[in-house]
Structure 1
Amino acid sequence: MEKGARARRRTATALAPPHLLERIATDIVGLRREAEVLAVALTSGRHVVLEGPPGTGKSTLLRVVAEEAGLGVVFVEGNAELTPARVVGYHDPSTVLQIGYRPEAFVEGPLLTAMREGQLLYLEEMNRVPEETLNVLITALAEGEIHVSRMGRVRADPGFRLIAAMNPFDAVGTARIGQAIYDRMCRIAIDYQDEAGERTITERATGESGRLVRLAVGLGRATRDHSEVRMGASVRGPIDMVHIARGLCGLRGEERASRDTLLDAALAAFSGRIRLEEGVDRTPEEVVTEILDRLLAAEAAEEGDEEPSGGPPPRGRHGPAPSHGRMLEGADARAALRESSRRTLSRRELESLYGELGEVSPAVGTVDEEALERLLARDPDRAAALLSDLAAATDVDLRRHARRLAARVFVRLGRAGRPSHRGLRRLVPRSGRVEGDLDLERTLERSGGGLPRRSDDLVLRSWGGPRRALCLLLD
C-alpha cells in the first residue's frame, strides 16, 4: 500500500498543471483538453483507450504525457497475428527440454514487463487484435493481476496502466471491441485539429509557410468533406505534399508552384491516402484533381486572375472529360460508349413506378438521405428497389448519388438479423506442419516427455477458421 501511495504521489507531482501545460503548449497542437484528461486519468489509476482517425496525434499525445510523468512505455503493435503468448510470455521450448519448467525458462511478454515494472503498456491498433488475445487483458484490467501457466499469479505494480489506441470501426481491417474491455477503460475521442492547427503542424514539419501550406492543408481537409470519399487524408498528406511540391519547384526551376507541379505533388501525397465510397465510378486521382482545381480557381478569383497559375487544366488527364464536340479516343471513348449503352430511366418513368420519388428526390439531381432513411425504416424492400432504379436514372447527378448510397444501404440490409460472433478464427493445434507457435505441452506428450525426434512430433498452434465461408454478392 505504501509503495502504491508513493507511486501515485510521484505521478501526481510529475503531472502538476504548470509542468504539463508548458509541455503541451510546446509539443502538442490542438489537443490541450485531451492531454489534460489523459494526464488526470493516468494519475487516477485509470486505463484509457484513445480513439480517432489515423494521423490525429494519438501516439504523440501519449508520448508527451508519459515523458512528463517520467513513466516508461512498453509498445505493442496490434495485428491479426498477435497471440496471447506473444503478449503474456511463453516458456522457451529449447530451455524447457533441457532444464524443465523453471522460471528461467520463461520469456516474459510485454504485458508482464509493464505489470512488474509499473510502466504504461501502449497497445496500438487495439481493434485489429484477435478477441482471444484481448480476453487475456480483462483480468489484468479488472483485478490488477494475471495467472500464468506454471508461473502462478503475477500482480501488477500500482503504476501499471493500459493505454490503447484504435481507429474508428469503419477503417479497413478492424473489428468491434467487446463490452467487457470497454467497460474497464476510459475513452478519449480525438478528432482532427482545426485548420489553423493543421497549418501549424504542417509548418513545423516542413519549415514552409504561405501558399503551399495553405493549399495543401485546404486539400487535405476537403477530402474529408467530399461526398464521394469515405475516409479522407490526415495531416500527413499536406506535410508530404508540401515536401514534394517544394522539391519539384527546385527541380523544375519554378519560383511559384504551377498547377502541374501542385497536381503531381497532390496526387503523390493524397491518392493513396483517401478511400472512396463503395460504388463510386471515379478514381482517387480524379477526386484529388477536382479538389485542387477548385482550390486554385478560388485562389485565382481572390487574386483577380482569369485562370489558375500554370494554364487551364489538361482535359482527360485523370478520367474522361466532357467532349464538347471533340473526338474522343482511348479510355475516354470506351467510357463514353459504355455510359451511352446503358438503359436509363427518366424521371417521369421513376415517378410512375414510385410515389415516394418526390420525397426521396425532391429536386432534379438530388437525394434526400433522411427521407431515404425513413423509407428504409418503413419498407426496406421498397427502398432497396427504388435505390436500384435511381442508380439507372437518366439524370447523371441522381445516378451518381444513388450509386454512392447503394453500397452502404445494401451492405447494411445484408447485415440485418442476428449479429455474427466477432472473429471466427481461433488458435488450434496442428501437427505435421512446421508453422505457427509451438504447443510445448502437446509436443512433450506426443514425444513421451523426451526430445522430439521428427518434425511430425511437433505440435504447433496457428490461427484456424471454418473451412466453409459464405458471402452474399449483390449485383
Structure 2
Amino acid sequence: MDHVELLARAKVDDPRSESGVVLEGQYREAYDAMLDAHNAGLFVGLIGPVGAGKTALCRKFAEDLGRPFEWVTFSDLVRPANLVGSFDPTLVFKYGYAPEAFVPGPFTLAALKGGVFLANELNRGDEYVLNTMLDALEERRLYIPALRAWYRVHDDFYLIAAMNPAENRGTRRLPSAIRDRIKVWIRLAYPKRATELKIVAQHCREYELAPGQIELVLEMVEQTREDPAIESPASIRSSIGIARFAAERARRLGQPVDHKLLAQAARLVLSEAIRVKPGRNLEHYLDSLLTKTLGTTG
C-alpha cells in the first residue's frame, strides 16, 4: 500500500467524535455559561489547570452548535502565519501569489466559515501574535497580510480562550487589548470524584473495571492534587491512563486488576505526569503515595 492509498483510507470526513465530557457539576455550569455568553455575542475565557477538561468541553460545545471546530495551542513557537495561513510554495509556481496558492490557517478557517476557534493556552502566546486576532474579534474583519486584503468575518464565528492559571510556569500576563475582548470568565478545577469516576469509566468501556478499582485510582490522583510537595499534579488524563493500563495488563495476564497492578500502572503513568517541588525526590514520593493508597509499591 503506497502513501496515497494509505491517506485515502485514513482520511476523516467528519472529525467529530465523542468528547468524553460528563455534563454535570462544574461542567454543566460552565457549559450553560458558555451557551449564554455565545447567545449574547460575548467571547468566553476558560481558566483551569492542565488536564481539567477545557478542550473536551469546548469541542463538545462546538459539536452541539453544529459548527466547525478549529484550535491552536499557543507557545513561543506559534507565529501569525500559524493562525492566519501562508502560501504553499509548490502552488505558488502554478498560480503565483494568488488566493489559489494560499493555505488558510485554523483561525482564518474558523473566522471565514463561522466556526468555533479555541485559543488554547492563550496566556502562553506572544503579544505580537495575539494581536493578529484583534480586528476579527472587535471589527469582525480579518486582514491577511499574504493576500494584502481584508475579509469579512462570518457572523457565526466564535472564540473561546482556554488558559492555565497565571501562577503556572510559562504563562504571561494577558495583553489588555485581548483581555478586554473576552467578556465572560469561567473557572474550572479538577472535577469532584463522582464526576471524574464517570469520565474515567466512559474512557474504559471496553474494560470491566469495577467502580471500587477506579476509586483507588482517583484516590492516588487526588493525593497529588492536595499534597503541597507537588508542583504539577496529575490530571484527568492520568486517571484514565492508570485505569486503562492496569486493566489491559490484567487482561493480558489473565488475572483480575489488583493493588499490585494498579501500583505498577500508577508508577509508569505518574512518573512523568506529575512534577514535585525542588528538593523533593520523585521516586521516594511515588513509593510513599503507593504504599499509603495501595499498600504496595508494585
> What TM-score bracket applies, with the shorter chain setting the length?
0.7 to 0.9
Structure number with the bigger relative contact order (C-alpha 8 A, sep ≥ 6) is 2
**Residue 117 of structure 2 corresponds to which residue in structure 1?**
121
TM-score normalised by L of structure 1:
0.53
Query: How many residues end up aligned between the 2 structures?
Result: 275
TM superposition shift of 1:141: 1.3
1:154: Cα distance to partner? Answer: 1.4
Percent pairwise identity: 30
Deviation of 1:130 after TM superposition, in Å, equals: 2.3
1:181 CA drift (Å): 0.9
Distance 2:165 2:99 in 1: 40
The aligned counterpart of 1:389 is none
> Aligned residue for 1:210?
211
Report the equivalent of 2:235. 234
Secondary structure in 2 matching 1:158: coil
Determine which structure has more spread, i.e. the larger CA radius of gyration: 1
- Given that 1:27 and 1:64 are in contact with CA atoms closer than 8 Å, whether structure 2 keeps it comes out as no
Q: Partner amino acid for 1:168?
A: P
Where does residue 267 of structure 1 map in the other structure?
Answer: 267
Aligned to 2:127: 131
Distance 1:99 1:181 in 2: 36
Give me the whole-angstrom Cα distance separating, in 1, the residues matched to 2:194 and 2:237: 15
Aligned: 1:181 with 2:185:
no
Displacement, 1:224?
A: 0.6
Seen in structure 2, the aligned counterparts of structure 1 residues 85 and 288 have a Cα distance that, compared at 3 Å, is same
1:41 aligns with: 37
The aligned counterpart of 1:109 is 105
1:277 and 2:283 correspond: no
Contact 1:29 / 1:200 at 8 angstroms: preserved in 2?
Answer: no
Larger displacement relative to structure 2 (217-226 or 71-80): 71-80
Structure 2: distance between partners of 1:204 and 1:70: 23
Kindly provide the amino acid, as one letter, of the partner of residue 62 in structure 1.
C
Gaps of 5+ in 1: 1-22, 297-307, 318-475
Residues of 1 paired with 2:134 and 2:212: CA distance? 50
Q: Do 1:85 and 1:109's aligned partners in 2 also have CA atoms closer than 8 Å?
A: yes
Q: Shift of residue 252 of structure 1?
A: 4.9
Distance 1:249 1:66 in 2: 37
Counterpart of 1:125, as a letter, is E
Question: What are the ranges of 5 or more consecutive residues in structure 2 without an aligned counterpart?
Answer: 1-17
Q: Is the 8 A contact 2:249 2:261 kept in 1?
A: yes
Quote how far apart the aligned CAs of 1:35 are: 0.4
Q: Alignment RMSD, CA only?
A: 2.8
CA distance in 1, matches of 2:109, 2:257: 54
SS at match of 2:287: helix
**Residue 53 of structure 1 is aligned with which of 25, 31, 49?**
49
Do the aligned partners of 1:127 and 1:166 also contact (CA within 8 Å) in 2?
A: yes
Q: Which of the numbers 42, 63, 66 marks the counterpart of 1:70?
A: 66
Which aligned segments of 4 or more residues in structure 1 are displaced greater than 6 angstroms? none
Contact 2:114 / 2:153 at 8 angstroms: preserved in 1?
A: yes
**One-letter code aligned to 1:159:** D
1:156 aligns with 2:153: yes
Residue 127 of structure 1 aligns to a residue in which SS? Answer: helix
2:28 equivalent in structure 1:
32
Q: Partner letter of residue 115 of structure 1?
A: A
Q: Structure 1 residues 91, 294: closer, same or farther in 2, change over 3 A?
A: closer
Aligned to 1:386: none
Shift in alpha-carbon separation, 1:98–1:250, aligned structure 2, 3 A: closer
| TM-score normalised by structure 2 residue count | 0.81
256 and 126 in structure 1: CA distance in 2 versus 1, 3 angstrom threshold = closer
What amino acid is aligned across from residue 47 of structure 2 in structure 1? E
